[in-house]
Amino acid sequence: MTVKEDVAPPFRGSDVISRVLMFFVNLMQKYLPDPFTIAWLITLIVCVMALTITRTEPIKIVTYWGQNFFGILAFAMQMTLVVVTGYALAVSKIVHNFLKALVRIPKTPVQTVLFVAFISMALYYVNWGLGLIAGALLAKEAGKQHSDIDFRLLVTAAFSGIIITHGGLSASVPLLISTKGHFLEKDIGLVPLSQTIFGTQSLAITAALILIIPFACTLLFPKKENMVLVDPAAFEEEKDEPELPQGVTTLADRFDRSVLLKYSLGLMGGAYLAIQFWNGVFNLNILIFLFLILGIFSHGSLVSYSKALTKGALSCGGIILQFPFYAGIMGIMEGSGLVLVISDWLLQLATPSTFEIYCYLSSLIISIFVPSAGGHWVVQAPFMLPAAAKLGVEPWRVAMGVAWGESIWNIVCPFWALPVLAIAKVGLRDLIGFSVILFLIGNVVALTCIYLF
């Protein structure tokens, strides 16, 4: 791409607004540490709080941390599989070719940005792992077909769907608390999806964002002299689906290429899914299984799918590394009694009618440090749920307050933007310079719907 140095911010508003936006973008780039560093900093802060507020002995704090360190490995594995199954499906030839065909539909720049944003919403609603990867590929294809549009804006439109992640079918917190055996089941039981992602409040927030955010993207066209256009040479065709060497005839290679083996696995998995759907079962495990089977069908062979999944696993390092630390934080908070202290603080501030808004606002703050709804649900839930119980607030309101706070933050989250930036080949500043406007709009929408519903 051709990038101009020191270009004006993309927003067409006043110079004052533009300077404020770039101030926050630069602040984040300069002072926001790596997510793993942040996870350890939070651990140290919780240790200090446990020492000073609850007077817990240091040896006990270390013990609580170590004993709970591996307490949510199943959940970490679920989050990893959401990402890699979404990735493997997105990079298959059939999906990639479909995206190429889609971007030829719109004709004008405004139509293209609006179209890409709406497709992004659909992708992220189905699966955020799919949306993350397919959205970036969509932006690349749109940039090739419509080279007269600022590419940063196209990437922002393709990324915009992440703002509805926790109103979609792969919303990690709602799916987790509806899955038998989740780590809080003894405290809140199983919370049905009819109360969370299919509840009136969540449907209202999701619908409002789907309608408003794409049109907001069309307001972000930069002036002609500040446009950043696609350089076609930057996007040389890559083979998305791995191919086996031609002419290989060993028995092992024949098994690897076998269509019969691929379809036998796909059909068996499809039969199991049909049984579960017939019985009305849909949770996080079923969603992961669904994308696994769809991915297998979409690739040419089992080995092709395996290679795509392995490549997608490279983007899961943060989840694998950080989730045990979140579990350790939870162990310190519970073991030291710090969770009860914080619950009492919340009880003094909140009322039954405002508690979910407190959950939402605190989630926004924690999302800065813990860029995963699943991760900071582990951190927040232990002190939010006891306070909610005393106030008579239903568990689903706590869960959705936390989930929506993280979902809105996603649009400016460097952690989740990394796969998109790598595929689309743009810089973090280029993306956030646009998406911070969507973040502000998203907060207004979410808080209004929480208040009304």
What are 280-336's pLDDT values in tens digits?
877 778 878 988 999 999 998 899 999 988 887 876 777 788 788 888 887 888 889
Report the candidate in 243, 316, 286, 277 with the shortest Cα–Cα distance to residue 83: 316
Q: Spell out the alpha helix ranges (H) of 284-394.
A: 284-298, 302-312, 317-336, 338-349, 355-369, 373-391
225: how many CB neighbours lie within 10 A of its CB?
A: 8
pLDDT digits (tens, 9 = 90+) for 386-432: 888 888 999 999 999 989 998 999 898 766 676 677 667 777 667 87
pLDDT below 70 — which residues of the chain?
Answer: 1-29, 32, 35, 225-228, 230-249, 315, 343, 346, 368-376, 414-416, 418-419, 422-423, 428-429
pLDDT of 2: 44
Domain ranges of the chain: 72-330+427-452
Long-range contacts of 50-58 (CB under 8 A, 24+ apart): 50/332, 50/333, 50/336, 50/338, 53/338, 53/341, 54/336, 54/337, 54/338, 54/341, 56/335, 56/336, 56/337, 56/338
pLDDT of 165: 92
Spell out the SS3 assignment of 80-101: HHHHHHHHHHHCCHHHHHHHHH
pLDDT of 231: 65
CA angle 112, 116, 121 (to 5 degrees): 150
363's CB contacts (< 8 A; 6+ apart) are 376, 380, 401, 402, 403, 404, 405, 406, 409
Residue 205 in tokens: 């927030």
pLDDT of 13: 44
Residue 40 in tokens: 């350890």
308's CB contacts (< 8 A; 6+ apart) are 87, 88, 91, 92, 240, 241, 242, 295, 299
